[in-house]
Amino acid sequence: MSNSNFNLRNVFLVNALVDLIFALALLIGPETVLRLLRLSSDNPVIFMARLFGGSLVGLGLLAWFARDFADLKARDGAAISLFLMSVLAFIVTLLATVAGWLRVAGWPIVLIFLAFTLSYGYLQFVRRGE
């Protein structure tokens, strides 16, 4: 393992923290998050926001536990799963932001998903073995 701070363990850790922070916000105060994104906050949208928040809890816990996986197959499986989720979330969020649905508030979310896409992609497919 390299002494570099840019390694899969640290990406898992940051991913877990980001996911769990967003999950908490979506589960506890979805109306506030939706208002910041300038999205409607009617009951079906609040339901979907909370459902997404619950999903983020699962993804955050996956990342949290994956940071200490000793089994390389399990670690690779977690990294590839989180990479694919990040790629898809990046594309969907980018399209929504470019279309004007999320306005300027969408760009930080786009950048977060892009950062995780590039991090997992680089560490998993370019610089293996971290």
39: Cβ–Cβ under 8 A, 6 or more apart, which residues? Answer: 45, 101, 102
> How many C-beta neighbours within 10 Å does residue 121 have?
15
pLDDT tens per residue across all 130 residues of the chain:
455 789 999 999 999 999 999 999 999 999 999 999 989 889 999 999 999 999 999 999 999 999 999 999 999 999 999 999 999 999 999 999 999 998 898 999 999 999 999 999 999 999 875 4
Question: In which domain, by residue range, is 29 found?
Answer: 8-126
Instruction: Evaluate whether residue 70 is within a structural domain.
Output: yes
Instruction: Evaluate whether residue 31 is within a structural domain.
Output: yes
The reported pTM is 0.89
In the chain, how many domains are there? 1
